[in-house]
Amino acid sequence: MDKTKQKKLAAAGFRTGDAKDFLGLTDEEAAFVELKLALADFMRDVRVEHGWTQTHVARLIGSSQSRVAKMEAADASVSIDLLVKSLLALGATRKQVGQVISRAA
Amino acid sequence: MDKTKQKKLAAAGFRTGDAKDFLGLTDEEAAFVELKLALADFMRDVRVEHGWTQTHVARLIGSSQSRVAKMEAADASVSIDLLVKSLLALGATRKQVGQVISRAA
DNA sequence: GACGCATATGTCGTATCTGACATATCGTGT
DNA sequence: ACACGATATGTCAGATACGACATATGCGTC
């Protein structure tokens, strides 16, 4: 597993290296986490491409800078609902969201 | 708006015909609801194609029949997280989920 | 190395989602 | 008309996600 992904999975609430994950992380769970990471990355891409700060994005979507940071980090406390709603609020289309999810890691 | 979609939007917690919706339902909100409806429909398709009852699906995903019914109805109380997790647990792939979301209504 | 700005992390009270249960409605066979 | 399996709807206590705030870390510029 490459280091970047490992770091992100860790941030998402899964620690690589302890027994539970290697033994118990099912295919669905892995797919779910990667799907969430893809949305989080896309969220950051959209923001950076517009040259926006996290604080500005927070204003646009009616949230706070800290939550935006957690969204981009795919923190365990952020839902896919929030990511999708936020992306749509930032101007992404439903089609784009679907494509981001479809794309293989 | 066709009657079927109208009924579903209503079930999803939006009542057509009152002022708030026609005045205040933004494009993002509409896109979000339709995205959720697409997942709900897909959930039903997967179940029916396998010839499963809602009770059986509930067992497979560790939930209850009533929640499965609400998922398929895109009830306001079900999250996209739950829909996606459930679909993955039923054997749908991340790619399929993305395609369902991408597809236009 | 102090300042300013952007991003990350921790915590908290409240709001929303969850599975479960009860119960209602539908559909179909007898 | 009745029974019965499947699906829908209402409700609730506990679980989880939310925005907000405080604070920490990074990172250029002076």
**CB B29, CB A84: distance < 8 Å:** no
Partners of residue B102 in chain A, C-beta under 8 Å: 94-95, 97-99, 102
Mean pLDDT of A66-83: 98
Percent of chain A with pLDDT over 90: 69
d(CA B71, CA B65): 10
- Tell me the per-residue pLDDT of A35-72, one tens digit each, with 9 for 90 and over: 999 999 999 999 999 999 999 999 999 999 999 999 99
**CA closest to C6 C1', residue:** A53
Q: Is the pLDDT of residue A4 over 90?
A: no
- Read off the pTM: 0.86
Band (A8; pLDDT cuts 50, 70, 90): low
In this predicted structure, the answer to whether residue A20 has a pLDDT above a threshold of 90 is no
C strand bases under 7 Å from protein CB: 5-11, 17-22
Find the mean pLDDT for residues A93-104.
93
Per-residue pLDDT of chain B (105 residues; tens, 9 = 90+): 555 666 565 555 555 544 344 445 678 888 999 999 999 999 999 999 999 999 999 999 999 999 999 999 999 999 999 999 999 999 999 999 999 999 866
CA distance A9 to A30: 9
Rounded to an integer, what distance in angstroms lies between the CA atom of residue B55 and that of residue A55? Answer: 45
Q: Does the beta carbon of A62 lie under 8 angstroms from any beta carbon of chain B?
A: no
First-residue to last-residue Cα distance in chain B: 12
Across A19-23, A31-35, A74-78, B1-5, least confident range:
A19-23
Extract the tokens encoding A101.
Answer: 């999810």
- For B95, nearest residue in chain A (alpha carbons): A102
> Does any CB of chain A come closer than 8 Å to the CB of residue B85?
yes
> CB of A57 under 7 A from strand D?
no
The answer to whether the Cβ–Cβ distance between B94 and A35 falls below 8 Å is yes
Whether residues A93 and B35 touch (CB distance < 8 A) is answered with no
Whether A82 has a pLDDT exceeding 60, the answer reads: yes
Give the pLDDT score at B65.
Answer: 97
The pLDDT assigned to A9 comes to 58
Q: If you classify domain A25-104 with CATH, what class do you get?
A: mainly alpha
pLDDT of residue A23: 43
Contacts of A79 in chain B (CB under 8 A): 79-81
The reported pLDDT for the residue numbered A46 is 97
Structure tokens at A7: 């770091």
